[in-house]
Amino acid sequence: MKDVLGGICAPKGFKASGVHCGIRKNKQKRDLALIVSDVRGTAAAVYTTNKVKGAPIAVTRSNIADGYAQAVICNSGNANTCNADGEEKAKAMCLLAEKYAGVNAKDVIVASTGVIGQILPIEPIQDGMSALVDGLSAEGSSNAAEAIMTTDTVKKEFSCEFTVGGRVCRLGAIAKGSGMIHPNMATLLCFLTTDAAIAPEVLHTALYDVIQDTLNMVSIDGDTSTNDMVSVIANGLAGNGLISKAEGADYEEFYSALMYIMTKVSRAIAKDGEGATRLMECKVKGAKDKKTAKIIAKSVICSSLLKAAIFAADANWGRILCAIGYADAQFDINKIDVDLSSEKGVVAVCRNGNGVEFSEEEAKKVLSEDEICIDVYCNDGDAEAVAWGCDLTYDYVRINADYRT
């Protein structure tokens, strides 16, 4: 496994593009992205569990019900959610991809992100299609990553190389997400590409399982979005033997690569939370089972009081114990140990459920770094889990108070 450049265009046979078409008022911001594979590939996706779902989700579900896709089209600036004509507009975007990019409209994954409840104008998208398709290139990943951003402050783009059955394969990803993110199936928009050959049902199994330990362990603000979608297209151009079962060495290699990339995406999403200054990572070790470890880790990173304390670099460890204490799982709080750590060192703050003496000055140094780890030891088994979040700052309120205007 090694990092490579190229993002979603790192795998063979993928091109991407991103342009400003006019959905966003700011002409300096790209707002329309397109990803196209040279050939039709197997496809899978996971969606939000919010009862209110963006219209593109229904259209994408229908389009990839057969397990295949060839392109992705996505706009930012408007979520196309809670609109009577939403599905009509999403289908129109797929038809535009067919007309201008030459792919079957039924092989298009469509997505939207932005303000909820505003009618999506199709005219800017139609007007921007020529430039969008003309811009398709093997170097277009970065432009596409920019075009799907909303309140994100940095592009989220990753790719890696791995081997399956002696063949070199690649996997790439772009993602967006900074607010309205809570662990409940997906939590953002993320588009993955790979040149590995893998059967549709096996691809879905891998994607679903990996998300449980990556994106479903991220929380920014406790709000699960209406438009969350993670999709993957596998075009098979690497030439490996088809991965036809969710078992064996070839599957494990693919699964490991997917876990590697999605962990990078998860950390990047959490670190770029709206208004965030620090990444919070909670590692739970020694739990009696994986479910308990995950519940505790999520409870810690979702605590608004703890997030505020981290913003102030305040070692208010009682808030950690409080969050562990209301976690909906069975464990002995009197066995819990907690450390705070960063590149500046480790500070023990709790042993056996009770506080221990520590240097507030040393703790301040540790918590002043931009990546903070909260290590929770249950001392009750061998299970582990990791969750990611961010601090809660004044800017979070400012960003969301005037997000629509």
DSSP secondary structure string for all residues of 249-277: HHHHHHHHHHHHHHHHHHHHHHHT-TT--
Is 393 noted as a catalytic residue in this protein?
Answer: no
What string of H, E and C letters represents the secondary structure of 88-141? HHHHHHHHHHHHHHCCCHHHEEEEEEEECCCCCCHHHHHHHHHHHHHCCECCCH
Count of H-run helices and E-run strands, the chain: 11, 15
Q: Per-residue confidence at 92, pLDDT binned at 50, 70, 90?
A: very high
The pLDDT value recorded for residue 1 is: 87
CATH number of residue 28's parent domain = 3.60.70.12
d(CA 150, CA 154): 10
- What is the residue-wise DSSP string for 208-249? HHHHHHTGGGB-SSS---SS-EEEEEE--TT-PPPB-SS-HH
- As beta bridge partners, residue 375 has 283, 339
Q: Which of 398, 396, 149 is nearest to 275 (CA)?
A: 396
Q: What is the mean pLDDT of residues 61-80?
A: 97
pLDDT beyond 80 at 179: no
Length of the chain: 405
pLDDT tens digits, one per residue of 167-178: 999 999 999 987
Q: Are residues 267 and 157 in the same domain?
A: yes
Over residues 292-339, the pLDDT tens digits come to: 999 999 999 999 999 999 999 999 999 999 999 999 999 999 999 999
* pLDDT beyond 70 at 185: no
Answer whether residue 52 shows pLDDT above 80.
yes
Q: Which of 163-167, 185-189, 316-320, 352-356 has the lowest mean pLDDT?
A: 185-189
Instruction: Kindly state whether residues 249 and 325 are assigned to the same domain.
Output: no
C-beta separation of 185 from 225 below 8 A: no
Query: Do both 251 and 347 map to the same domain?
Result: no
Alpha carbon of 38 to those of 64, 233, 364: distances in Å? 17, 11, 53
CB 388 within 8 A of CB 218: yes
- Are both 321 and 265 inside the same structural domain? no
Please state, in angstroms and rounded to a whole number, the distance separating the CA atoms of residues 90 and 257.
31
Options 113, 187, 226, 393, the catalytic residue:
187
Residue 389 and residue 244 in one domain: no
> Which CATH number characterizes residue 347's domain?
3.10.20.340
Select from 221, 236, 271 the last residue of a domain: 271
Does 306 lie in the same domain as 245? no
Residue 184 has pLDDT above 70, yes or no: no
Same domain assignment for residues 220 and 76: yes
CB distance 364 to 372 below 8 Å: no
In whole angstroms, give the CA distance from residue 43 to residue 70. 8
In angstroms, the CA 273 to CA 401 distance is 15
Domain that holds residue 380: 279-401
| Predicted local confidence at residue 27, as pLDDT | 87
| Residues 174, 250 within the same domain | yes
Which of 245, 271, 297 is where one domain is finished? 271
Q: How many domains does the chain have?
A: 2
Segment 360-377 shows an average pLDDT of 98
Measure CA 75 to chain center. Answer: 17
* CA 193/CA 33 separation, integer angstroms: 14
* 178/82 same-domain check: yes
User: What is the distance between the alpha carbons of residues 98 and 31, in angstroms, rounded to a whole number?
Assistant: 19
Mean pLDDT of the chain: 94
Identify the domain boundary among 271, 306, 338. 271
Whether 387 and 264 share a structural domain: no
Q: Which two tokens stand for residue 168?
A: 């070199």
Do the beta carbons of residue 315 and residue 367 sit within 8 Å?
yes
| Alpha carbons 228 and 226: distance in angstroms, whole number | 6
306, 350 Cβ separation under 8 angstroms = no
pLDDT above 90 for 348: yes
Is-contact 42 199, C-beta < 8 A?
yes
User: Range with the lowest mean pLDDT among 105-109, 119-123, 173-177, 273-277?
Assistant: 273-277
Q: What does the pLDDT read at residue 225?
A: 73
Q: Considering only residues 51 and 132, tell me which one the structure prediction assigns the higher pLDDT.
A: 132
Per-residue model confidence (pLDDT) at position 405:
64
Q: What angle do CA 305, 309, 312 make, to 5 degrees?
A: 145
Say what the pTM is.
0.94
Percent of the chain's residues with pLDDT above 90:
85
| Confidence at residue 181, expressed as pLDDT on a 0 to 100 scale | 62
Asked whether the beta carbons of 113 and 189 are under 8 A apart, the reply is yes
Residue 392 has pLDDT above 60, yes or no: yes
| 215 and 141 assigned to the same domain | yes
Q: Are 9 and 18 in contact (CB under 8 A)?
A: no
CA distance 310 to 86: 40
Which ranges constitute the DSSP H helices of 272-387? 290-301, 304-311, 318-325, 360-367
The upper half-sphere exposure of residue 375, i.e. CA atoms within 13 Å in the direction of its Cβ, equals 13
**pLDDT tens-digit profile of 255-297?**
999 999 999 999 999 998 888 899 999 999 999 999 999 999 9
Mean pLDDT of 209-232: 87
290 & 310 share domain: yes
